[in-house]
Amino acid sequence: MQKPAKHKPFVERKNAIFFDVDGTLKGVGGTPRELPLALQALKDEGWELGICTSRSPRLLKDFLVSFESGLRSFRLFDSWLVLEDGHVVVQPGRSLDDDPEVLTESNALSEMRIFEACFENAWCAAADEELAGEGWGYLMHLTCPAVKLTPPQWYPIGTVSIWERGPHVTSPDYRGQFERVMQWALEVAEKQRFHSITFNEVGNGTLCANQKDINKATGLLYTGIDLSGVIFVGDGYNDVPVAQLLREAGGIVIAVANAVSELKDIAHYVTKEPSSHGVLEFAQKLRRNRADYSSIPCFRRY
């Protein structure tokens, strides 16, 4: 596979908002009914809406079908879609089904296939019939947490993901359960002498095998959008590179209330409400301001 360019030539400045999905647009306890309508209103006022997530194209499509149901817009999120932590992008107007562009290089993809095979060799189905029926099992010598590869209907195309059964890393119930899976992955990497991939824990219980020099920030750079006109809304550790990039480029970072402290420390604004309720709070605040992007003081904390 040919190595991708670092980014596309910069296009005209746009007012665009990119959203993380899990822990942000999709929240615990459901999505406020008003949220899709509030985002539609922002779009009607001239904002382009994009996605920047760890989800695969298929998994994102599953979410969007539900989120956008009932809206008059054919496609609410009309800007770039940055998926699988920057390893896959979909250009505006292109299809999630047929047009994703994989940025992962061939050497990294090869190591991911080896890692996937190592996982399958070390994995066995759970003895509990209910867990086994849902596809859960355990890695050799690990009795917690239950794990499985991403199911085929949502399979990633530029990364490898292991799902971990347990609480979000920011939940009070989290006690480092996923760290055992990470340790196992690092031991595999050392034994196999991987050079091109690394591992990243996504807060909702997913261990991702990523190419070392690719993340959400590099994926956003690849789009060629002038980042000084971009707002990003997120919650997780894998959102921190995007936040750092936008701080340098003059964009704006919004952290929802359930965000990790590392993201809150960088953010221009932290919502009072968590996840999707925080996104609604942000959208309503932005609409109330009704000012040109360059003079939005309510989100410039410092």
Domain boundaries defined on the chain: 16-103+215-299, 106-211
Q: Which residue has better confidence, 295 or 204?
A: 204
Tens digit of pLDDT for each residue in 154-165? 999 999 999 999
Q: What is the pLDDT of residues 74-84, one digit of tens each?
A: 689 999 999 99
| Alpha-carbon distances of 55 from 11, 61, 227, rounded to whole Å | 26, 9, 22
Q: Among 212, 173, 180, 208, which Cα is nearest to 196's?
A: 212
Mean pLDDT of the chain: 89
Range 16-103+215-299 has CATH code 3.40.50.1000: yes
Quote the tokens at residue 106.
């061939």
* Tens-digit pLDDT profile for residues 118-140: 999 999 999 999 999 999 999 98
Q: pLDDT tier at 169 (50, 70, 90 boundaries)?
A: confident
pTM higher than 0.75 for the full model?
yes
Q: How confident is the model at residue 175 (pLDDT cuts 50, 70, 90)?
A: confident
Confidence of residue 1 (pLDDT cuts 50, 70, 90): very low
**Selected residue with higher pLDDT from 295 and 213:** 213
More confident site: 204 or 24: 24
Question: 168: pLDDT confidence band, cut at 50, 70 and 90?
Answer: confident
Q: Render pLDDT for 28-73 as a digit per residue (tens, 0 to 9).
A: 778 899 999 999 999 999 999 999 999 999 999 999 999 988 787 6
* More confident position, 289 or 258: 258
pLDDT at residue 302 is higher than 50: no
Residue 10 pLDDT > 60, yes or no?
no
pLDDT at 228 over 90: yes
Is the pLDDT score of 262 beyond 70? yes
